[in-house]
Amino acid sequence: MEKLLVFMPCITERAEYIFSLLLRDLMGAELILTDRIEDYSSYSGPRIEYNDVPTGEGLFFQCCSLLQEKSVKPKDCKLFTYNNIPAFFPVKDKRSVLPFDLFAASFYLVTRYEEYLPFSPDKFGRFKASDSITTIGNFLKTPIVNLWVEMLKKHLGIAYPLLEFHEKKYRFVPSIDIDHAFAYKQHSLIRTLGGSFRSIMTGDLKKLAERMKVLLGRVKDPYDQYDYIREIHEQLGLHPYYFILFADYGRNDNNVSLSGSLFCKRIRNLDYRRTLGIHPSLTSGTNPDILQSEIKGLSELLGHHVHTSRQHFLKVSLPYTYHELIKNGITDDYSLGYASDPGFRAGIADSFPFFDLIANRAEKLIIHPVTLMDVTLKDYLGIAPTEAIALGRSFVNKIKAVNGEFVTIWHNESFDYSGRWKGWKEVYPEILSYAL
């Protein structure tokens, strides 16, 4: 199999990272990087040049300065459209195969460059989807990096017909967040009395009666949907990832008592394929000792170290969040998405290594971007179940078209169809079956 030679005057950590991700991981080409012009000039196989000006034969891609820099500073991206596809970081040399720096633009998106810059956070301290270039450019719902790679692949195929590519396969990764393991069970006496009192004061006697029936063992806790969740996945040969909030009670972190016997039993049962990970609390996001305690506690309960994570409320602070996860032995994180909007926060429908823009190096932590979440559909977008199904299918189509990775988030409490999720019973099974 022929190898693709890439020449650039200076191979930086940034350049090596993005060329390896796009050409090797996404495109499936055998890759050689060189900064020796004599090697490039004498090479008889397929080759491209990433430079300010072309030095000889081969496909030329004009570069901007981003991949040669070491600092993080505001950029004038200059959005435009090329062949009906959004693009930015335009270049002027007419000899360039593309009129924009595809590699720099991809690096900007995948590394979440804009989130290292000063921004106005939402009430949870999160970067807002509305402030992203993907929203401003109207391509948040498009796996733009994957489309750019397909564009690049076509140019290479025309210039070098014998160049081969290893095709990726589409992957579907369903996942379940457990923020509240039970609606009524395993709550402290104070929480139980407080919840009962609120029901009385608000006149919600139906909820009060339900609480009493659950606590007396007459009916099942409405959030105890674990058998059903396992059943609907196994019918399709799927095994979802679970992320459990294993934290002390707090204002925004209010799961049940961690020492409850039923809670511990349920958690162990969910880990039968070792697909259970930590759902770090919002409190742990600013306290590394708490994060370490949560991961250690869950690992001890399961009898093995957990290596997957998803941040509570999808709260990611770059690069701090990922630094702390790496320190605690997390190898794969499933947090990179927006709670407010479905789509591709990093512009890509694939997992990729985290690149730390402060240290200017790639880390071993693998990021699995999230595309679609139940709460986004119902609470943020406020759409009907039929619309949710249609939107889910549209994302499946887009991701299958680029052989990407489709990650969804649902919650155990979303399967309580007698509560606030009434009418949504068909949504998740429909998306599951269509995703396969």
The edge-to-edge listing of strands for the beta sheet with 47-51 is 30-34, 3-7, 47-51, 59-62
pLDDT at 210 over 90: no
- Per-residue pLDDT reduced to its tens digit, 302-336: 999 999 999 999 999 999 999 999 999 999 999 99
Candidates 275, 268, 264, 279; CA nearest to 238 is 275
Which pLDDT belongs to residue 195?
67
Question: How far does CA 297 lie from the centroid of its chain?
Answer: 25
- Coil, strand, or helix at residue 177? strand
- 3-state secondary structure labels for all residues of 46-78: CEEEEECCCCCCCEEEECCCHHHCCCCCCCCCC
Name the token pair of 396: 């499946």
Higher-pLDDT residue of 370 and 194 is 370
Q: How far apart are CA 278 and CA 271, in angstroms?
A: 12
How crowded is residue 189: how many other Cβ atoms within 10 Å of its Cβ?
Answer: 7
pLDDT of residue 359: 96
β-pair type (59-62, 276-278):
unpaired
Asked if 393 and 431 count as a contact pair (C-beta separation under 8 A), the reply is yes
Domain ranges of the chain: 3-159, 171-183+221-435
CA distances from 99 to 54, 61, 80, 126 (A): 14, 9, 10, 33
pLDDT band at 196 (very low <50, low <70, confident <90, very high): low
- Summarised one tens digit per residue, pLDDT across range 38-62 is 999 999 999 999 999 999 788 999 9
- Mean pLDDT over all residues of the chain? 94
> Which segment of 80-84, 215-219, 260-264, 345-349 scores lowest on mean pLDDT?
215-219
CATH 3.20.20.70 given to domain 171-183+221-435 = no
Alpha helix ranges (H) inside 170-277:
189-202, 205-215, 226-234, 261-270
Q: What is the mean pLDDT of residues 287-313?
A: 97
pLDDT on residue 192: 63
Strand 171-178, strand 241-244: pairing: parallel
Element (H, E) at 35: none
Task: List CB contacts of 63: < 8 A, sequence separation 6 or more.
Answer: 8, 50, 51, 52, 91, 101, 103, 104
Alpha-carbon distance of 289 to 223, in angstroms, equals: 30
